[in-house]
Structure 1
Amino acid sequence: MKLQTQVPLNKATNQIDYSSQLVVLGSCFANNIGDKLAYYKFRALQNPFGILFHPLAIENLISRAIQQKQYTEEEVFFLNERWQCYDAHSDLSSVRKEELLGSLNSGLLETKLWIAKASHVFITLGTAWTYQLKESGKEVANCHKVPQMVFKKQLLSIDRIVQGLKDMLHLIQAVNTKVKIVLTVSPVRHLKDGFVENQQSKAHLISAVHQIIKTGNATYFPSYELMMDELRDYRFYGNDLVHPNDLAVNYIWEKFKTVWISETSYKTMDEVAAIQKGLDHRPFSQESEKHKEFLKTLGNKITNLQKEYPFMKF
């Protein structure tokens, strides 16, 4: 008896291993995958400007990073006792203007350096809905709780998304001809836009992404389809009934691992996971001989792993 439809998956060529260098950009689901890669100590740059939901925000980051177009005082503003920038998530906001500008410009440099040496770039698109400043026409990455009357909300056309993706890929490949680019659509539903509007948004993203895939310049990982078709139950969602819960994230991660991570890395991943669990261990008594012996064994495991992979930090 078959009780679940299965999304067909094939192992990717040029899979990830511990020699890979990864860039992960995009919506909050990019953070879910990025956090897993970080947990297993793969080398990865994850969303240096924070979560970026729509394609034009990601395109803007890549473009400014590669062209090294630095941020200036005119591009930040003071609101709710913090300095903000429309191009970045509020996670980067600061009480000091100089600190925000420093974070933005160091983020641009870091992004360029990582893209130039990356083996893989993963881009996750969350929504096709954007907010545009009425005064300047600028598309913003984050509204920062600025009154909605300041913005014009619009749905990006499929053609505009396709063009944005083409520009992204061209910029990346101009500085890194060997990089593997992987596109995916976030399974997180943006229900604040409306139920029908969210479906329309995802349809635009998926249609645009597959036009790009046909050119052969990128590949696709079906995270959206896995959530919609294999995890068709609210027990796989968080309390908000919008975001995938830990069980769903782990499920999609296992699928991602099967497709994108080389089996030669599995043993090392298990060793890293064992260390991570050891570091999370909370003893009844920190002064006991048993715990001291445990810490010594754990330290030896870390030392041995770092001899092979010096970049790993615990």
Structure 2
Amino acid sequence: MRNIRLNTPVELPKSNFGVSYHNRLLSLGSCFSSNIAEYLKLLRFHIVYNPFGPLYNPISIARCLDRLQSGQPFGAQELFYFGGLYHSELHHGSFSKTTIEETINVINTSLEEARNMYEQCDRLIVTFGTSRVYRQISTGIVVGNCHKQPQSLFSQEDLPLDDMCSEWGNLLTKIMEDKPHLKVILTVSPIRHLGDGLVANARSKSKLLLLCDYLAGLCPSRIEYFPSFEIMMDELRDYRYYAQDMKHPSDLAIEIICQRFLNQYINEETFLIFREVEAYNKLKSHRIMHEGSEEAQKHLSEIEARAHCLKKKYPFLCL
């Protein structure tokens, strides 16, 4: 009898360094980096992610890391006014506010929190989204976010692979010299940039895969590649695993990829703690119909007792 398989599983070698609850994690990059980080945060890992909002191209992500290294606060001169709001071209629209003071405050508060984690972090997760960029014509700067300004203000281009390798090779070399305990996990977002067209999207992702391969080769004991893109494209090769926009992975696909991430990066000890955290989360998510009832009070007491037990047993958990 034939052994019939309905997919082609991606083989995942066990990590050289792994991820545990003792680690401090920083995740940067596309919105898929937020997906991974939110999953890890729910499982009570110590993680800060996307302090500038999602960034998709390697140049803007590199600038984000540079800013975290220096810790230099943002100033009013780095903002511009458009559509009734003050924006930063390196930040997501959620940071844009109606006054300069409010915008600077929310940007620098996020920067300070991420800077504190950067100082502590020993695991850095970077997710590249696209090698296609928008360059501001007046300044020549590659922007992280256009904020729906007229397209005539920007030129669109594909970043050369050599430029990306040089920029990131120098950056990671410097960071790892400054932080000798840091380990880096690179991945390419499986989210398809259909606005660029399928051919351009494929070329863009190909260059990002080559970039990750080059960087992982610089220091294999400290830099690794996690194949989220390959898991989506090959192992989950079915439109049932996409959201309705046919670009983003569905919630199920994200959960599968995140589980594969844990399979590659956590050891048996961490896995056992993870199971206890899962049980706690399940208890906490249980819905109570009548909040003031005796059953509700009993449930809240049980949650509190379980949290106290976990804190005592595993004081390093982010509860």
Give the TM-score, by structure 1 length.
Answer: 0.95
> 2:289 corresponds to which residue?
284
1:104 to 107, 112, 128: 107
Q: 1:234-274, CA deviations, whole angstroms, 9 ceiling, x for partnerless residues? A: 00000001100011111111110100122212232222223
- 1:62–1:171 CA contact under 8 A, matched in 2: no
Q: For structure 1, which runs of at least 5 residues remain unmatched after alignment? A: none
Name the CA distance, whole Å, in 2 between partners of 1:105 and 1:126: 25
Q: Judge which range, 242-251 or 283-292, deviates more.
A: 283-292
1:11 equivalenced with 2:43 (yes/no): no
Name the CA distance, whole Å, in 2 between partners of 1:145 and 1:200: 25
1:19-34 aligned at under 5 Å gives the runs 19-34=22-37
Name the CA distance, whole Å, in 2 between partners of 1:289 and 1:106: 41
1:246 equivalenced with 2:254 (yes/no): no
Amino acid paired to 2:200: E
Partner of 1:107: helix, strand, or coil? helix
Amino acid paired to 2:95: L
Name the CA distance, whole Å, in 1 between partners of 2:259 and 2:248: 18
Partner of 2:186: helix, strand, or coil? strand
1:194 to 183, 193, 197: 197
- 2:46–2:318 CA contact under 8 A, matched in 1: no
Partner of 2:21: helix, strand, or coil? coil
> 2:229 corresponds to which residue?
224
Deviation at residue 312 of structure 1 after TM alignment = 4.8
Name the CA distance, whole Å, in 2 between partners of 1:183 and 1:306: 31
> 1:158 corresponds to which residue?
161
Amino acid paired to 2:212: V
Name the CA distance, whole Å, in 2 between partners of 1:279 and 1:168: 42
Deviation at residue 310 of structure 1 after TM alignment = 4.5
1:114-263 aligned at under 5 Å gives the runs 114-216=117-219, 218-263=223-268
Amino acid paired to 2:270: S
Name the CA distance, whole Å, in 2 between partners of 1:310 and 1:88: 34
Partner of 2:107: helix, strand, or coil? helix
Q: 1:307 to 1:80 in 2, by over 3 A?
A: farther
Partner of 1:24: helix, strand, or coil? strand
Partner of 1:74: helix, strand, or coil? helix
Deviation at residue 165 of structure 1 after TM alignment = 1.5
- 2:22–2:316 CA contact under 8 A, matched in 1: no
> 2:42 corresponds to which residue?
39
Deviation at residue 313 of structure 1 after TM alignment = 5.7
Deviation at residue 61 of structure 1 after TM alignment = 0.8
Partner of 1:182: helix, strand, or coil? strand
Name the CA distance, whole Å, in 2 between partners of 1:115 and 1:291: 40
1:265 equivalenced with 2:302 (yes/no): no
- 1:187–1:223 CA contact under 8 A, matched in 2: yes
Name the CA distance, whole Å, in 2 between partners of 1:235 and 1:71: 43
- 1:116–1:175 CA contact under 8 A, matched in 2: no
Partner of 2:81: helix, strand, or coil? strand
Q: 1:167 to 1:113 in 2, by over 3 A?
A: farther
Amino acid paired to 2:193: H
Q: 1:13-52, CA deviations, whole angstroms, 9 ceiling, x for partnerless residues? A: 2211111110111001101100001101100111111101
2:62 to 59, 64, 80: 59
Name the CA distance, whole Å, in 1 between partners of 2:162 and 2:286: 51
Q: 1:80-127, CA deviations, whole angstroms, 9 ceiling, x for partnerless residues? A: 222110011112112221122223333334333322321210100000
Q: Judge which range, 33-42 or 216-225, deviates more.
A: 216-225
Give the TM-score, by structure 2 length.
Answer: 0.93
Equivalenced residues, count: 314
Deviation at residue 309 of structure 1 after TM alignment = 4.2
Q: For structure 2, which runs of at least 5 residues remain unmatched after alignment? A: none
2:307 to 283, 291, 302: 302
Name the CA distance, whole Å, in 2 between partners of 1:266 and 1:26: 26
Q: Judge which range, 277-286 or 127-136, deviates more.
A: 277-286
